Structure 1
Amino acid sequence: MAINLMDIQKVKIGGPAGEKLSSASFFDEHSSTRLRTVRQAEPVRPRYSIRKALRIFLIIVVLGMINWGAFLFFKIHSVSQRVTIQNEPRSLMQDVGSVVASVVIPSREPLRGEADGRINILLLGAAGTNKPGQNLTDTVMLMSINTSAKRVALLSLPRDLLTKVANTQLSTKINSIYQYGLSNDQGLDPIRNTVSEITGLPIHYSLVVDFSAFTQFIDNLGGINVTVERDIYDPRYPGPNYSYETFSLDKGFQHLDGATALKYVRERHDDPEGDFGRAKRQQQVIQAVRNKALSLRTFLDPFRLGNLLDTLGESVKTDVTLDEVERFVTLIREVDTQNVTNVVADAWNKDSLLKVSHLNTPAGRAFVLVPRTGNFGQVQDLVLNIFDLDRIRQRRAELDKESATVTIVNGSGDKNIPTKVESLLREQLKIKSILFANQLKQIAWEHTTVQDNTRGAKIYTLDELLKTLPATRATDNAILNSSTDFVILVGKDMVRPLSFEEDSVEEFKKSEDQQEYFEPSND
């Protein structure tokens, strides 16, 4: 006897009157064999299994995010207590509140310098604790961020640059000023203020990196990629305990671990550009580290990120507060890293901003670098226009067109000064026609003055004279009746700046390892 489909439907739903059929009624009508056939046709439906698995997965994700956030909060708080230089300690809740506020509340205080469109950051690299020359800064670099154009510029100042320590009468090599500040309980203030005076710019933030942290940081990143411009082979690279070891690296693409990267940025013996070539490599590595550190892969790896933060906490000092970190990270990710302006103040030729000279000390001659013009006017002009260097080149082109003539009058009291001023004008400003005149009154003038006989017709030459010497503009043309375009009355203020005799670059290179630390002394 066959079972028709209507009978099966009635078994499932009910009889003719809509009432349910009992299992007994069903057995009365059909055999047990056919019953098994009908029951096998009913599918077994797993209830809520997919939905339950989804809920469990979401719970795991949320818990993971909470744990990751808690880890990040505690890690940032711990690191911020060790890294930041600030007068008042911050609590954990203050740090957590800062991070949360930066995410929840879009409005924020601008970074220092941001309102003016330019943020200047002093970057220092030191050997580190328990190392020879532990607080001497081999790296002195000014990073400027153009916040509107989203561009970055790096200016490297050589460690042997001789300069006055800001707010003192002391002079020393720039690499010794950070040590001076620590020894006198002034921290970063002396080096920060000194670099500000050299560049003519305010320093908004500072960052000091221990070279041992540099090695560990790059290892935690998994290494960096750089393109080496030339083969390097240096059998005299400084090793442990004042020994030497061989450092070599082939030209071309290289993946560097921390130890090799450190040697790469510190090597200078086998570089034809010496300390200046090293500064260029330091700038190159900074860009490579930036690209790797801000990658999504680094941020999403909790172990790597934790190790990076620990390294920062141990060996980095900065005055960037936690409130400002989030904005800095965002700003740095926005800048155009393919269009970074790299400038190194060097002393290689007559057109360089610096020159090699020396000081006589009880230990012998100490070779130093000094501004070729005797002042930092050209450095300040370079820094001011670092995002538009074409402006400087255009001014020089206009100056050449003016073909100005100059007469030099010596009012300094030093008979050797006029010829030094002449060399300065010929080498730096390319002025060809220069005459000398005797001083009408035998008195010493305090300040150098420029008389403009063109009455503003050759404005580019006048501007360069005032900035380069430097000098003030005469209020009248009473210095000397001359047919030349300009008359320069050289004052006593030019004697000290132009007193440094120029030595050879070869002598300087030979002495680079002999005297790293230069004790600050009175002028």
Structure 2
Amino acid sequence: MEELEEIQSSFEKEKFIPETKVDKRKISFSRLKRRVLRHVWMIRGSVIFFVILVLFLALLLIKSLVIKSGADYYLGLARDFVFTPRDKIKIFDGRTNILVLGKGDVGHEAPDLTDTMILVSVDHQSHKVNLISLPRDIWITTLRTKLNSTYYWGNKKQPPAQRASGLEGSGGMILAKSSVEEIVGQPVHYALVLDFSGFKKIIDVLGGVEVDVERSFSDEKYPIPGREDDLCNGDPEFKCRYETLNFVQGKQFMDGETALKFVRSRNAIGDQGTDFARQVRQQKVITAIKDKLLSKEILLSPKKLTKLFNPA
């Protein structure tokens, strides 16, 4: 019995350490992890460098597309005007005045009569834009003609080889600017002319504009292009030459064609058929164009900017 007790006592004193199996894959992974973590700053730096490289190449691509399209010149002018460098923008008394002329297309009954004349005045201190509509029937005593025909007569007085309708240096632009200066008592620094087609293209490239229609109105005598001489099968009222327009009060989304009808309508029933109401509608559309031009949808779209400044 004593021998048995001694054997049990010796077993209790000894520590029994079980044999454990070592997982070599875990050891290898742990070593690899430690090596990677030691160089994590290099990996992060490489990722950042790759992202910057991709952005840089994308900018180069966009720039090359813009230059090839010819839009870089116009974008440069727009950029210069927004940031108002004194050496590039004409300014008088803190303002830059731009005359916008609207006329009919070639083939129109009176293509060079500018029935839309709006003075856009930009205040460089407050950054506000004022629109002043000029009545087309203002009589210019020195020229013995109406204001809306100054562009026409200015082009007529130039030799045919020098006529450049729509350009800043054309006779029509020069005479229209000087006539407006005489009326408002302010210098007109720049001028541009838009025909019906150009007006519609601008709005369509922008993807349409939202216009707030103040009052509902109907116009039953809006002229249909190409039917000016239609005899309408003997109809004494020539109804086939016209279409009926209907505009409902409230915000309306308009494409180029609809916006053109909105600003040209002059035979609406009631006070919306007056020249004054027409001028107000024209200002609303120009304001809508300005707001759309300055929206993120346009400014962040190189494709739309290229189409806008270099239409096909």
Q: Place the TM-score, normalised by the shorter chain, in its bin.
A: 0.7 to 0.9
Q: Residue 253 of structure 2 is aligned with which of 250, 255, 263? A: 255
* Contact 1:219/1:258 (<8 A) preserved: yes
CA shift digits 1:25-50 (9 cap, x unpaired):
xxxxxxxx746355455365578666
Q: Which residue identity lines up with residue 145 of structure 1 in the other structure?
A: V
Over 3 Å counting, the alpha-carbon distance change for 1:249 and 1:79 in structure 2 is farther
Give the SS at the match of 2:277. Answer: helix
Q: Give the 5 Å matches for 1:121-140.
A: 121-140=98-117
* Contact 1:122/1:206 (<8 A) preserved: yes
- Other-structure match for 1:183: 156
User: Structure 1 residue 300: deviation in Å?
Assistant: 0.8
CA shift digits 1:187-242 (9 cap, x unpaired):
31111111111222221111212221111111111211122112121121111112
- Other-structure match for 1:272: 271
* Contact 1:235/1:245 (<8 A) preserved: yes
Q: Which residue identity lines up with residue 266 of structure 1 in the other structure?
A: R
- Other-structure match for 1:300: 300
Q: Which residue identity lines up with residue 70 of structure 1 in the other structure?
A: S
Q: Residue 87 of structure 2 is aligned with which of 109, 122, 127? A: 109
Over 3 Å counting, the alpha-carbon distance change for 1:172 and 1:99 in structure 2 is closer
Give the SS at the match of 1:202. Answer: coil
Over 3 Å counting, the alpha-carbon distance change for 1:198 and 1:44 in structure 2 is same
Q: Is 1:36 paired with 2:21?
A: no
Q: Report the Cα distance in structure 1 between the residues aligned to 2:290 and 2:111, rounded to whole angstroms.
A: 25
- Other-structure match for 1:61: 55
Over 3 Å counting, the alpha-carbon distance change for 1:59 and 1:148 in structure 2 is closer
User: Structure 1 residue 259: deviation in Å?
Assistant: 0.9
Give the SS at the match of 2:310. Answer: helix
Q: Report the Cα distance in structure 2 between the residues aligned to 1:290 and 1:138, rounded to whole angstroms.
A: 21
Q: Report the Cα distance in structure 1 between the residues aligned to 2:18 and 2:44, rounded to whole angstroms.
A: 39
Q: Which residue identity lines up with residue 265 of structure 1 in the other structure?
A: V
Over 3 Å counting, the alpha-carbon distance change for 1:269 and 1:107 in structure 2 is closer
Over 3 Å counting, the alpha-carbon distance change for 1:289 and 1:196 in structure 2 is same
- Other-structure match for 1:162: 139
Give the SS at the match of 1:133. Answer: coil
Q: Report the Cα distance in structure 1 between the residues aligned to 2:57 and 2:109, rounded to whole angstroms.
A: 48
- Other-structure match for 1:240: 225
Q: Which residue identity lines up with residue 211 of structure 1 in the other structure?
A: F
Give the SS at the match of 2:115. Answer: strand
Q: Report the Cα distance in structure 2 between the residues aligned to 1:225 and 1:216, rounded to whole angstroms.
A: 16
Q: Give the 5 Å matches for 1:381-400.
A: none
Q: Report the Cα distance in structure 2 between the residues aligned to 1:294 and 1:255, rounded to whole angstroms.
A: 17
Over 3 Å counting, the alpha-carbon distance change for 1:202 and 1:35 in structure 2 is closer
* Contact 1:163/1:174 (<8 A) preserved: yes
- Other-structure match for 1:30: none
User: Structure 1 residue 133: deviation in Å?
Assistant: 2.2
* Contact 1:299/1:305 (<8 A) preserved: yes
User: Structure 1 residue 275: deviation in Å?
Assistant: 1.4
Q: Report the Cα distance in structure 1 between the residues aligned to 2:28 and 2:180, rounded to whole angstroms.
A: 88
Q: Report the Cα distance in structure 2 between the residues aligned to 1:152 and 1:266, rounded to whole angstroms.
A: 23
Give the SS at the match of 1:111. Answer: coil
Count residues with an aligned counterpart: 262
Q: Report the Cα distance in structure 1 between the residues aligned to 2:310 and 2:147, rounded to whole angstroms.
A: 30
* Contact 2:66/2:72 (<8 A) preserved: no
Q: Which residue identity lines up with residue 255 of structure 2 in the other structure?
A: D
Q: Residue 226 of structure 1 is aligned with which of 190, 208, 211? A: 211
User: Structure 1 residue 178: deviation in Å?
Assistant: 0.9
Q: Report the Cα distance in structure 2 between the residues aligned to 1:99 and 1:141, rounded to whole angstroms.
A: 20
Over 3 Å counting, the alpha-carbon distance change for 1:275 and 1:127 in structure 2 is same
Q: Residue 72 of structure 1 is aligned with which of 66, 72, 97? A: 66
- Other-structure match for 2:288: 288
Give the SS at the match of 2:150. Answer: helix
TM-score, normalised with respect to structure 1: 0.45
Give the SS at the match of 1:56. Answer: helix
Q: Report the Cα distance in structure 2 between the residues aligned to 1:229 and 1:106, rounded to whole angstroms.
A: 34
Give the SS at the match of 2:172. Answer: coil
Give the SS at the match of 1:158. Answer: coil
Which runs of 5 or more residues in structure 2 are unaligned?
1-16, 159-170, 229-240
Q: Which structure has more helix as a fraction of its residues?
A: 2
Give the SS at the match of 2:155. Answer: helix
Q: Which residue identity lines up with residue 72 of structure 1 in the other structure?
A: V
User: Structure 1 residue 64: deviation in Å?
Assistant: 0.9
Over 3 Å counting, the alpha-carbon distance change for 1:184 and 1:51 in structure 2 is same
User: Structure 1 residue 53: deviation in Å?
Assistant: 4.2
Give the SS at the match of 1:235. Answer: strand
Q: Which residue identity lines up with residue 309 of structure 2 in the other structure?
A: L
* Contact 1:79/1:310 (<8 A) preserved: no
Give the SS at the match of 1:272. Answer: helix
- Other-structure match for 1:329: none
Aligned-residue Cα RMSD (Å) equals 3.2
* Contact 1:127/1:135 (<8 A) preserved: yes
Q: Report the Cα distance in structure 1 between the residues aligned to 2:175 and 2:120, rounded to whole angstroms.
A: 18
Q: Which residue identity lines up with residue 310 of structure 1 in the other structure?
A: N
Over 3 Å counting, the alpha-carbon distance change for 1:106 and 1:74 in structure 2 is farther
Over 3 Å counting, the alpha-carbon distance change for 1:203 and 1:108 in structure 2 is closer
Over 3 Å counting, the alpha-carbon distance change for 1:123 and 1:42 in structure 2 is same
Q: Report the Cα distance in structure 2 between the residues aligned to 1:182 and 1:138, rounded to whole angstroms.
A: 16
Q: Report the Cα distance in structure 2 between the residues aligned to 1:224 and 1:3, rounded to whole angstroms.
A: 81
TM-score, normalised with respect to structure 2: 0.72
Over 3 Å counting, the alpha-carbon distance change for 1:192 and 1:289 in structure 2 is same
Q: Report the Cα distance in structure 1 between the residues aligned to 2:65 and 2:96, rounded to whole angstroms.
A: 31
